[in-house]
Every structure is written in structure tokens, then in C-alpha cells.
Amino acid sequence: MHPEGAPRPAARLADALVFSSLWVALAAVALAAAASRAMQVTPPPGVLGLALCGTLVVYTLDRLRDLDRDRRTAPERSAFVERHRRGLAALAAAAGAGALALGLAAGARVVALAAVVAAFGLAHRRLKALWWAKPAYLTLAWTAVAVGLPAAAHPRAQHVLPVAGVIGLVVLSNVVLSNLRDREGGAARLGPRRARALAAAVLVPAATLALAGPPPLAPLLALPLAMAAAVAGFRPTERYGAFAVDGALLLGALVALAL
């Protein structure tokens, strides 16, 4: 029996998955795997591990460093971070060590790109205050991880630019929705109606690229479709942003891999 008002084990597990940043890190891995298939390469496990560990480091450190500010926009996540501060710090340290080891083993091209992405990630706390820059650098960083890292590991990767176009536009839609939920960045200035319209509009060329591009890109259509569902059902709640908006990236990538 659970005391009245106490979260059930399934709810606690879901909170741990999402608020620890593991949810968004899994989305990065799934996107990298789906992008690799569309580029007709098999990503080394180390590259996928680097995507996982690197994303965990950047997001976990951001949650820990910006806890006071996040209490205004994400109180439930902030409460989780405060309760588990030591564990999350240990997770970030372990992920950082893993990212370093995996990056060095992946080769110079991968290391160089990962270092640039890491620099932007570690500067995220300051850069996100620039409303006009946040959507651009987040989109570029995520596209670099999902498309750039596998392509750097495989110089003969095909269809890199159209794959980057699909992934980048879907990530941009995700960023707009996330900023709208957090009432940050350009989305806050646009207002809910126009921000949702923008998040939906950028999915049209993403879907067009997936359909009209080379045949290996066709499964990537699952990505704009999943994000379109997140746009259509958008709710300005913390849990919707945490589970559904970022979950659309994970779901779309997993469906693309299954097709």
C-alpha cells in the first residue's frame, strides 16, 4: 500500500528517468542511430556512447549549476535535482569520464567535433540568456551530435546534408516548444499561438526532405510526424515538456529505426 499522496514506484521511476536527464540523453542516442542508418553507415558503439555520455554531462551540469533559476520554470525538476544533488554530481562525473574515454578512442575527427559541441554545452548557462541565439546554437549542437558525430566516424557517410536538414528542423521545432513551455527565448516573445505555428511550420520542410530525398531518408519521416503530434497536443506544463516534447524525439527516432 502507498500512503495517500505518495508517488507510486512507477511515477518515481519516470521522474528519475526524465529529471536525471537520462531521457534526453537516450533521445540523442536514438537520433544518432536513426541518422546513421539514413546515411547508410553503422555507427561505432563508442560514438553512440559518446552521444549518451556527452548529453548527460551537459544537461546534468546545467541542472546543477542553474538550480536557483530553474525553480521558476521547472519546480518539480528542481526539487528532484535538489533532493539528489550528490547522486547527479556523481552521474555527471562518471558520464564525463566515459565521454572522454570514448571520444579519445573514436579518433581525431570525432574528438574535434565533440570538443566544439562540449564548449557550447558548457557555456549553455550563459548563452541561453541570449534569446536570439538559443534556438540556433541548440539546433546546431544537437544536429552535430546526431549527424556530425556518426559522419565524422565514417568519412564515406552518404546524404549527410539532407539528413542534417531533417534532424535540424525537427530539433528546432523541439527547441521552440521547450522554450514556449519555459517561457524563455524567442518563443516567449512570439507568444503561444505564433510559437506553436512556428514549431509546426518548420516540420513541413523536414517532412518534405524525408519524403523527397534519397530513399534511405524515408524512415526519418517518423521524426516530424512525432514532433507534429507533440505540437498538436501541446500543454504548457512541466511534465508535458519533460515527457512529451523531448519524448517525441526519442519516439520518432525509434520508429525510424524500426521501419
pLDDT at position 72 is 80
The dihedral region occupied by 183, where left means phi > 0, alpha psi between -120 and 50, and beta the remainder, is left
Dist. CA 63–CA 88, nearest whole Å: 9
What does the chain come to in residues? 259
Helices (H), the chain: 9-19, 22-38, 45-65, 67-73, 75-83, 85-106, 108-122, 124-127, 134-143, 149-153, 160-182, 185-190, 192-201, 203-212, 222-232, 238-239, 246-258
Q: How far apart are the first and last CA of the chain?
A: 42
Confidence of residue 241 (pLDDT cuts 50, 70, 90): confident
Dist. CA 96–CA 50, nearest whole Å: 9
Look over the chain and give the mean of its residue pLDDT values, rounded to a whole number. 88
* In the block, residue with C-alpha cell 516534447: 245
Dist. CA 206–CA 221, nearest whole Å: 8
Looking at residues 15-39, what average pLDDT do you find? Answer: 95
Confidence of residue 181 (pLDDT cuts 50, 70, 90): confident
pLDDT at position 131 is 60
Cβ(117)–Cβ(57) under 8 Å? no
Cβ(253)–Cβ(34) under 8 Å? yes
Looking at residues 141-168, what average pLDDT do you find? Answer: 96
pTM of the model: 0.91
**Of 210, 207, 217, nearest to 173 (Cα)?**
207
Phi, psi of 96 (to 5 degrees): -65, -45
- Chain centroid, CA 101 distance in Å: 22
pLDDT in tens, 182-205: 666 666 677 788 889 999 999 999
Confidence of residue 1 (pLDDT cuts 50, 70, 90): very low
